[in-house]
Amino acid sequence: MTHKLLRIITDSGKVKQVGYNRRAHERNFTFSTTCQGQSTMSETEERLFSIRPLESEDRNWVAHFLDKNWGSTKIVSRGQSYYGHLLPGFAAEMNDAPEDAQPAGLITYNIEGKDCEILTLDSNQAGLGIGSALLDMVKVVAKEDGCKRLWLVTTNDNMEALRFYQRRDWELVAIHRNALIAARKMKPQIPLVGKNEIPLRDEIELELKL
């Protein structure tokens, strides 16, 4: 998940927010880039990937995706648990991929009141701006739903995530010390040791004001 946010080529339509009775404008998004990674709106450039809202028929592959990348469909954040395959979200698909190919990226989120929480964000294709584009899609929906901020938690070992979000103007707002002790009671699959052999202890909260 990296680098420049690619500019958006929009067509007519509205974004569907699956699982909620909230209204949002539907759009179809197609992304392209030059070989140097610079964004472009040119119709003549190769279109690399598209982003679409999740539908009910996506739940099976999303469940398998989360099992592989998150150890379970259960996502735990700040003492709350969610089944990620039932959440609204967006998938990124490579435009030259075979029809049976798994999407190249996935984001899931949950809106409560004026807050929109990012629960999961994954990209299987580094360097194309997929993670940034997925975040931008949720930002569009959150703003249209009247949200005042995006927020999320990551773990104390996840330096890549801390770098990714802070480079995109997210701010650290809290460190919830030893939060993973309680989280493991809800999701035993959470390991004791994380990336770079760092003990997994804390939840770090970040936010982006809208």
Residue 185: the pLDDT is 94
Q: Return the pLDDT at 55.
A: 94
Rounded to an integer, what distance in angstroms lies between the CA atom of residue 78 and that of residue 204? 10
pLDDT tens series, the chain, 210 aa: 322 233 233 233 333 333 322 333 334 454 444 333 333 333 333 468 999 999 999 999 999 999 998 989 999 999 889 999 999 999 999 988 887 788 889 999 999 999 999 999 999 888 889 999 999 999 999 999 999 999 999 999 999 999 999 999 999 999 999 999 999 999 999 999 999 999 999 999 999 999
Q: Look at residue 63 in the predicted model and tell me its pLDDT.
A: 95
Answer whether residue 168 is part of any domain.
Answer: no
184 in a structural domain: no
| CA dihedral (130, 135, 139, 141) positive or negative | positive
| Total number of domains in the chain | 1
Query: Residue 93 belongs to what domain range?
Result: 9-147
Place of tokens 């990937």: 49
Inside any domain, residue 131 = yes
Would 71 be classed as within a structural domain?
Answer: yes
Domain harbouring 125, CATH code: 3.40.630
Token pair in block for residue 184: 């493991």
DSSP H helices, 94-207, are 130-144, 159-166, 179-186
The pair of structure tokens assigned to 142 is 């959150």
Structure tokens at 205: 């909260």
Residue 170 lies in a domain: no
Taking a C-beta distance cutoff of 8 angstroms, is the pair 111, 20 a contact? yes
Closest to 139 in 3D by CA, of 128, 148, 130 = 148
- Tell me if 187 is assigned to some domain: no
Give me the pLDDT at residue 35, please.
33
| pLDDT on residue 2 | 29
| CA–CA gap between residue 72 and residue 65 (Å, rounded) | 9
